[in-house]
């Protein structure tokens, strides 16, 4: 069996076989989620720590639920209300978790690279999973997006060869976009980024994707359109003249939805700014698979925990 490494830090660390193994394991574990008793004994006796230095709803809740469904003991630690707000360092926090015997640490941090530091500094022995670091990466989001794309466009099997994904909006501040570009490329999809020039990162030429400034043209080619949140909290200056202009040029609204191919889907990692990057009617339309992305997130995170911590010798479909 193709193995994963010890940690999951970047979508770019996964080769095609590893990525497919996670997606296939997700599909198997999804059958557990459909049962009335949604629980496997795989991680009984293991300790999983959710270490969240930045706000989160979906990612934190779904990692917590995923670990619980695999019977792990789960502790969720938010920086707010902890000794981190008294100035405790990442190192001291990590040493505390190590003393408590964490088998896996799921970390979200405002600093790009914090999960790498945690994985490589020797402070902890367990696996580290990156749940979003600064503007850098968010690999499990890319995996749940790939799973969602595969189930809608590819019949739930194989890779994403030939699928055209258009990613729109605040690419500059988006760890979701970075991880998606890497993983989608590994899985054979074609990616086009669409954003105002001020929200396209420097060095994008080296990314395995194309760039366009014209949303309408790109939409006509798309099998899926992934709208990104305008990340106002990461914007020190002003990146576009007004929110009205932004939504006119780069927002997805009902008239634009008409440009999409018949079966194209609309995605958003959440949280959404309804009325800015996506209109409320589009977010609630039958094309949108946004709630399904959240549901898939639990199963993908179960698969990651299962493969990183418990895979050997266990059966994903066991009782």
Q: Give the residues lining the site for ligand NCD (CB under 6 A).
A: 58-59, 132, 138, 141, 175-176, 229, 231, 269-270
Dihedral of alpha carbons 40, 43, 44, 47, sign: negative
CB of 58 to ligand NCD, least distance (A): 4
Nearer to ligand NCD (CB atom), residue 145 or residue 159: 145
CB of 266 to ligand NCD, least distance (A): 15
CB of 56 to ligand NCD, least distance (A): 6
Nearer to ligand NCD (CB atom), residue 78 or residue 221: 78
- Coil, strand or helix: which one is 177? helix
Nearest position to ligand NCD, beta carbon: 229
> In 3D, which of 107, 102, 131 has the Cα closest to residue 118?
107
Q: How far apart (Å, rounded) are the C-alpha atoms in residues 190 and 204? A: 15
Nearer to ligand NCD (CB atom), residue 191 or residue 316: 191
Q: How far apart (Å, rounded) are the C-alpha atoms in residues 66 and 309? A: 13
Question: Are the beta carbons of 267 and 227 closer than 8 angstroms?
Answer: yes
CB of 25 to ligand NCD, least distance (A): 21
CB of 111 to ligand NCD, least distance (A): 14
Nearer to ligand NCD (CB atom), residue 9 or residue 316: 9
> In 3D, which of 256, 6, 235 has the Cα closest to residue 120?
6
Q: How far apart (Å, rounded) are the C-alpha atoms in residues 201 and 209? A: 13
> In 3D, which of 188, 200, 102 has the Cα closest to residue 146?
188
- How many residues make up the chain in this entry? 319
Nearer to ligand NCD (CB atom), residue 187 or residue 226: 226
Nearer to ligand NCD (CB atom), residue 58 or residue 98: 58
CB of 317 to ligand NCD, least distance (A): 28
Question: What does residue 39 show for φ and ψ, rounded to 5 degrees?
Answer: -145, 140
Locate 159 and state its tokens. 């890779």
């Amino acid at each position: 069996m193709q193995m994963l490494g010890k940690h999951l830090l970047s979508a770019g660390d996964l080769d095609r076989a590893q990525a497919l193994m996670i997606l296939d394991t997700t599909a198997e574990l999804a059958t557990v989620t459909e049962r009335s008793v949604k629980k496997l004994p795989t991680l009984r006796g293991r300790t999983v720590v959710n270490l969240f230095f930045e706000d989160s709803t979906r990612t934190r809740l779904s990692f917590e639920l995923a670990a619980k469904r695999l019977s792990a003991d789960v502790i969720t630690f938010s920086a707010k209300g902890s000794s981190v707000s008294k100035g405790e360092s990442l190192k001291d926090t990590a040493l505390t978790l190590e003393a408590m015997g964490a088998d896996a640490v799921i970390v979200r941090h405002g600093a790009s690279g914090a999960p790498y530091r945690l994985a490589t500094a020797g402070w902890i022995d367990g696996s580290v999973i990156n749940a979003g670091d600064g503007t850098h990466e968010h690999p499990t989001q890319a995996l749940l997006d790939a799973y969602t794309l595969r189930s809608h466009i590819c019949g739930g099997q194989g890779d994403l060869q030939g699928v055209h994904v258009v990613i729109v909006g605040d690419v500059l501040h988006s760890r979701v976009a970075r991880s998606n570009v890497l993983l989608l490329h590994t899985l054979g999809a074609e990616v086009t980024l669409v954003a105002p020039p001020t929200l396209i990162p420097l060095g994008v030429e080296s990314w395995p994707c194309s760039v366009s400034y014209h949303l309408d043209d790109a939409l006509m080619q798309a099998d899926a359109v992934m709208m990104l949140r305008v990340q106002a909290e990461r914007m020190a200056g002003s990146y576009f003249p007004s929110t009205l202009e932004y939504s006119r040029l780069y927002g997805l609204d009902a008239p634009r939805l008409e440009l999409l191919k018949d079966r194209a889907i609309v995605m958003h990692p959440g949280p959404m700014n309804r009325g800015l990057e996506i209109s409320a009617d589009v977010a609630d339309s039958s094309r949108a698979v946004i709630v399904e992305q959240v549901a898939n997130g639990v199963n993908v995170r179960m698969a990651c925990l299962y493969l990183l911590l418990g895979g050997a010798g266990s059966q994903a479909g066991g009782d």
